[in-house]
Amino acid sequence: MKKLEYFKVVLILPGNVLITIPLIIYFLTKETYSYHLINLSSVLFYISLLFFILGLWLAIWSVRTFYNFGGDGTPGPWKPVSKLIISGPYCYVRNPMLIGVFFLLLFESILFSSMPIFYWFLIFFIGNIFYFKNFEEKDLIKRFGEDYKNYRDKVNMFIPSFTPYNKE
């Protein structure tokens, strides 16, 4: 049952952010913007490929960490984890799953030379900063108390550190 719940979370959250909304943007703006894949010999192609690899790696590592250490919850807000996750990529940054999604959106915007998809990335990025600061962090403090406050004070929201978080 837990695997099915994780499949739903991945399908609903990143699936909409990375596939459904960019497709809608494409269909609404295709007459105004020319979408073409960047040249395979272009430096931008390799930059986009780097974003793709990093984004996919971070997203998979984060979801696996949630699955293995989060108790009976999921990454979705409708069934939050029952344990504070401070292992795996969460030792280095508080929101590695989102960073993975950010990188994947940047990959899409560069690969398709799409400013509208880049604008979607900016909206999604700013919206998540607002959401985490005003809603999720308050909920995490309520659920995990001082453990989360200590973690929050020592680990950046979106900029990874080179040294892992040490609870002591």
Nearest to 136 by CA among 89, 92, 84, 87: 84
- The pLDDT score that the predictor gives to residue 151 is 96
- pLDDT per residue rounded down to tens, the chain (168 residues): 566 665 666 667 788 899 999 999 988 987 777 667 777 788 999 999 999 999 999 999 998 898 888 777 777 777 788 889 999 999 999 999 999 999 999 999 998 888 999 999 999 999 999 999 999 999 999 999 999 999 999 999 999 999 999 876
Token readout for 78 is 């409708």
Give a yes or no: residue 36 inside a domain: no
Place of tokens 């979801």: 63
Q: Is residue 104 part of a domain?
A: yes
Rounded Cα distance, 31 and 29, in Å: 6
Domain that holds residue 53: 44-168
- pTM listed for this prediction: 0.88
How many domains does the chain divide into? Answer: 1
54: three-class secondary structure by DSSP: helix
Residue 91 forms part of a structural domain: yes
Residue 21 lies in a domain: no
CA distance 20 to 108: 13
For residue 35, the model assigns a pLDDT of 67
- Assigned domain for 15 exists: no
Q: How high is the pLDDT of residue 69?
A: 86
Contact partners, residue 131, CB within 8 Å, separation at least 6: none
How far apart CA 76 and CA 12 sit, in angstroms, is 9
Let me know if residue 53 belongs to a domain.
Answer: yes
Note whether residue 134 is domain-resident. Answer: yes
